[in-house]
Amino acid sequence: MSRIRIPPQLRGEVGGAREVPAEGGSVRELLDDLLSRFPALRHQLVEDGDLAPFVNVYVEGEDVRTLDGLDTPVENGSTVILLPAMAGGL
């Protein structure tokens, strides 16, 4: 079991929860588990079978796009964070 942190924009789709538990050994499996329970999230998170362009997913604080994407392994007990892509820029 791992925990997925939900950004404010998506909490309405998960009953207001900031964090949702999910099962899986990879980011893909965790998201599949999440989407099976909250199918309304799918169009926000997934596009053409890959992560939607404005969604960032972090496993233990590292962006999966610089790891193995949806195939990035997730150890049991990890924290996975979903965030919207934000402009920074000082």
Partner 1 sequence: MGSNLRTAGSLLDLVGNTPLVELPHLTPKPSVRLYAKLEGQNPTGSIKDRVALAMIDAAEAAGELEPGRELLEPTSGNTGIALALVARLKGYSLTCVVPENATEERKRLLRLYGVTMLESPGEEGSNGAVRVALELAEQEPRYFMPFQYANEANPRAHYEGTGAEIAEALERVDVLVAGLGTGGTLMGAGARLRESFPDVVVAAAEPLPGDPVMGLRSLDDGYVPPILDVARLDRKVLVSNEESVATVRDLLRLEGLFAGVSAGAVVAVARRLAAELDEGVVVTILADAGWKYLSADFWDAETDAVAASMERTVWW
Alpha-carbon distance 65 to 57, whole Å?
8
CA distances to 51, 85 from 88, in Å: 21, 9
Task: Select the span of 21-29, 31-39, 77-85 touching partner 1 (CB under 8 A).
Answer: 77-85
Pick the closer one to partner 1 by CB: 23 or 52: 52
CA distances to 14, 24, 36, 44, 61 from 6, in Å: 8, 17, 16, 12, 14
Minimum CB–partner distance for residue 30 and partner 1 (Å):
17
Choose which of 10, 22, 70, 74 interacts with partner 1 (CB under 8 A).
10
Task: Select the span of 19-27, 31-39, 53-61, 70-78 touching partner 1 (CB under 8 A).
Answer: 53-61
Token readout for 43 is: 């169009």
Q: Using CB under 8 A, list all residues that contact partner 1.
A: 7-10, 44-45, 52-55, 58, 61-63, 65-66, 81, 83-90
